[in-house]
Amino acid sequence: MSLKILQLSSDWKWTGPAEPMLRLAEAQRARGHTVVMAYPSPAAGANRSLATEAEAAGFVSVAPLDRRRGVHLLGDRADAARLRELLRAQAIDVVHCWHTRDHVLAWRAARGRRDQTAIVRSYRSAERIARTPWNRWLFGPAADGLLCVSPETARSNSALRGGRPIAGAFGAVDLARFQPAKPDPAVRASLGFAPEHEVIGIVARVQPHRRFDLLLAAARQLFARRPNARLLVVGRGTHRVQLAERPAEQLGIADRVVFAGYRAGDYADVLRAIDVFTFLVPGSDGTCRALLEAAACGIPAVTTRRGALAEIVVDGETGALADETPASLAAAWEGLLADPARRAALGAAASQRARLLFTPEKLADAVLRLYDAASSARSKRA
């Protein structure tokens, strides 16, 4: 049965859930479903946004939303009215929401279509949802279906749902772009790496909660034992100087840490310059997309056990899990750097697992099953 699906986001930025939403929309459209999107227009001067990426994929916003943060019962009346008319005019079967503001907008718009339009919410954090009265309503009766970032995350939040449909699915990777290939010597050289250098790499926005203190302390221990080891940091952040660059100088390791900033066109090549990927704390996208991309490229990973990381990385098979101490992290890195054959085997296993579990098709399968369950449950309650 072909569905009419509205993918709804109240955030105009190309960050966090934006790419997973677009990849899912493309996979659903490829299955023959009618998929439309609604999102705000980008801020003036923005170079990259959800709008630019969605339009490049053949989508346009069918109901432009105001650029506004938070829930505003009075201020959001116009947006809710536009969505209500869209649901009626296009006979939308499912509204898939990605943020709290658009979730509440969808709930307001769909109130008059209780037996016709299901509301599904993606919860992008792998942390257990706090059992506040607001969350009990928002993630309970206000959502016909709840999509979590992993199977274990879904299990941990199942009680909150009160028997309503819930599912957990890993994120999706563009496997045509992210695939195993030998590192490009020119790219490595452009980053300042010589052939003998062993590169630990992380892709993360430089923010206080991402534990750059732990990353740099572990790197210092590794560098003391392996002179050719280097650390590559890919990502931007307004606090990069105080959180990462200055601490690296204070630890005396600044000459072995490369800050590559945000990468776009050459991102996959930069990623493949890494020998061992590392990830400490998930950001706004709990699916840890960069970790999935590294796995697809055949790069073994060392991670902590935060969020869904222990589900994405199979300890001893596709990478290694480490405690959140400099000694544990450095030892895990060193174990892989010192054993190229094992590193290659883990990378090959990571790539194979990515092609089984981290695909848009796999994600679309899980989400469409959730849509069916949510629509059926809604019809019974109407």
pLDDT at site 288: 92
Predicted local distance difference test score (pLDDT) of residue 273: 97
| Per-residue pLDDT tens over the stretch 17-60 | 888 899 999 999 999 999 999 999 988 878 889 999 999 999 98
Residues 328-338: tens digit of each pLDDT: 999 999 999 99
What pLDDT, on a 0 to 100 scale, did the predictor assign at position 362? 93
Q: Using an 8 Å Cβ cutoff, are 175 and 148 in contact?
A: no
Instruction: Please state which architecture CATH assigns to domain 185-357.
Output: 3-Layer(aba) Sandwich (3.40)
What Å distances lie between residue 126 and 33, 186, 242, 288, CA to CA? 28, 37, 28, 10
363, HSE (Cβ side, Cα atoms, 13 Å)? 26
- What is the pTM for the complete model shown? 0.90
pLDDT at 381 over 90: no
Instruction: Give, for 293, the enclosing helix (H) or strand (E).
Output: helix 289-296
The residue with greater pLDDT, 117 or 114, is 117
Those residues whose C-beta lies under 8 Å from the C-beta of residue 235, and which sit 6 or more positions away, are 202, 203, 204, 205, 206, 261, 262
Place of tokens 């003391």: 224
Higher pLDDT, 379 or 5: 5
Tokens of 142: 């206000």
CATH number at 4-172+359-381: 3.40.50.2000
Q: Look up residue 278 and give its two tokens.
A: 């590392």
Whether the pLDDT of residue 115 is over 80: the answer is no
Each residue of 240-264: pLDDT tens digit? 888 899 999 999 999 999 999 888 8
Token pair for 360: 């848009």
pLDDT on residue 28 = 96
pLDDT above 60: residue 294: yes
Residue 173, CA distances (Å) to 126, 240, 266 in order: 18, 27, 16
Alpha-carbon span 262 to 196, nearest angstrom: 25
Q: What pLDDT is recorded for position 54?
A: 93
Compute the distance between CA of residue 184 and CA of residue 190 in angstroms, rounded to an integer: 10
DSSP H or E run through 122? strand 118-122
pLDDT at 111: 83
In this prediction, residues 299-310 reach a mean pLDDT of 96
Q: Tokens 């105080």 map to which residue?
A: 242
Say what the pLDDT of residue 66 is.
Answer: 85
Task: Give tens-digit pLDDT for 75-93.
Answer: 889 999 999 999 999 999 9
| DSSP secondary structure string for all residues of 138-167 | HTTTT-SEEEESSHHHHHHHHHHHTT--EE
pLDDT at 382 over 60: no
**Helices marked H in 31-165:** 50-56, 77-89, 100-110, 133-138, 151-161
Residues of the chain with CATH 3.40.50.2000: 4-172+359-381, 185-357
